[in-house]
Amino acid sequence: MRMRMRCRWQGVRGRGGRVATTRAKRVEVSTQGEVSRSLQDIEAVIFDCDGVIWRGMTAIAGAAEAIRGLERKGKRVMYLTNNSTKSREQCAAKLGHFDVKADKSQVICSSSSAARYLDSIGFDRESLKVLVVGQEGITIELQEAGYEVVPCSEATPSSEAKCTIGEFEEITIDEKVGALVVGVDDSFSYSKLCVASLYLSQVEGCVFVATNRDVGDRVGDDGRRIPGAGPVVAAVETASGRKATNVGKGGSWLLPHLLETMQLDAGKTCIVGDRIDTDIALGKESGMLTILPLTGVTDEADLEACPEESYPDLVVESIATLL
């Protein structure tokens, strides 16, 4: 059995004599018994995917078995991911690849949230188009919702990454484009940046949506961080002088949508995720039980620096502890 590492809160006197609360240089990892007791009255468990069920292209040991165990106990299981590269159906298929049986109806991904957000503001799908900087998950979800999509790659002056001043001046603006959705894009380029910023600065009332602001995810055996949607969104915001509405975890729009769409009682719901600023923050805001596994982007050093009010209710080595 793993020895629990006890932690303590320390008061550090700062400017003006005020005491700031910080966590000592140790992290307490919850035992299986503690987790089991905490989940006893929980009816629904929401799982993040990247860094929780899988890491990169590798399954996290024991994750599938833990999820099946919760379902056998009658827990309702859902999946909430900021990944915009896939549609809900594709996310469900990837879960299946990792031996986790899931239906599209159990999944909310940031690509589907982008479509639901446009629905919520009454975006005119009959006469307006949506420009997309991102991958196929966004396009699929928008098209399924009845929106006409313009991939940014089709609006660039050429297939090359560069965009000269002359080429920029010759870009033709489609006046029917009324929204821009930006997510992670593994072929993001200066040319796409030019097109996206042009529409935001030149098309009056153009709606600007970010699927999420995640900096990146840890992948590979060495835990290297691959950039996510956040850097792409930040580049477009900087170039255009506009701020995007974040419809993923970490933004203010998602929580009410999540509670209503999934008909959740927050007090009987648990969220399991590897990010303090998105997964755990969402749970804290709503009053859900929060569990952070140490298999994703957050490590013990991050937890040591975490303020008390943001700290997860439970920290586990992996979600295998939930079994």
Active site residues: 48, 50
Q: Is 243 annotated in some ligand binding site? A: no
Q: Is 75 annotated in some ligand binding site? A: no
Instruction: Give the amino acid at 128.
Output: L
Ordered DSSP codes for 252-266 = SSHHHHHHHHTT--G
* Size of the chain, expressed as the number of residues it contains: 323
Tokens, residue 99: 């031996």
How far from 103 is each of 17, 47, 79, 164, 255, CA to CA, in Å?
54, 14, 10, 46, 21
Q: Is the dihedral of CA 242, 232, 87, 318 positive or negative?
A: negative
Q: In terms of Cα–Cα distance, which of 13, 31, 42, 34 is closest to 268?
A: 42
DSSP-assigned beta bridge partners for residue 23: 9
d(CA 47, CA 61): 15
Q: Is 176 annotated in some ligand binding site? A: no
Is the CB of residue 277 less than 8 Å from the CB of residue 305?
A: no
Residue 61, phi-psi category: left (phi > 0), alpha (psi -120 to 50), beta (remainder): beta
Is the CB of residue 123 less than 8 Å from the CB of residue 206?
A: no
Is the CB of residue 224 less than 8 Å from the CB of residue 178?
A: no
Q: Is 48 annotated in some ligand binding site? A: yes
Annotated binding site: 48, 50, 249, 274
Annotated binding site for Mg(2+): 48, 50, 274
Annotated binding site for substrate: 249
